[in-house]
Structure 1
């Protein structure tokens, strides 16, 4: 009769995970040739290549986000300066418009056309006789 034994699932899962890591590391080692770079007795980089690649990926993402943030800050500053220039230009135009509507400014412009101010001479009264034959 067969003998019953207990399985040890934690150890089996750990062995499968270790085998998968070893396979990944061996594939990368065969493709790139890291053992020639680090030496065959120094297998630390080869065993931890997945962590090294993960940290490298995170660093690339960090650098890309930092560049994007700096670009946005520069764009915001450029937009602020353009908005300030437009605001000052609008203020100057509004001041010129308000100044040109004053009576003294109108008198200067109309005097070139030969028209004069009516306050110097009193207006003439026009009388119309309605009973004339």
Structure 2
């Protein structure tokens, strides 16, 4: 794993490297705000598509629940959250209960949640189509 600053330093340190154009492209798509590989895969896929690029780890204060939540990926303009659920979200009872409460709290604020799992990462084309349908339903005209 690397950070944006380490990748930028590598590009500058090895300017004649064969893969430099690819490294520059990767730098443009990287984010120090991503917290997981699945989030990054979906975010980069969406960034390379005609769809808007979601914001990683978006912070939102929920006025009704009076607490702050962080969205894996968010489209604030459309009040759409993309949330990755690894297996611990279904096997840990406390995590599952917290997820249900969180989804209800977010819904109370007018946000929609599009949940995805590891199975969705197998077919990012289908995932992208689902995001596009949801964004269009929320007013995106792309």
**TM-score, normalisation: structure 2:** 0.22
Q: Which has the larger radius of gyration?
A: 1
Larger proportion of strand: 2
TM-score by length of 1: 0.23
Query: Comparing both chains, which one has the higher relative contact order based on Cα–Cα distances under 8 Å and sequence gaps of 6 or more?
Result: 2
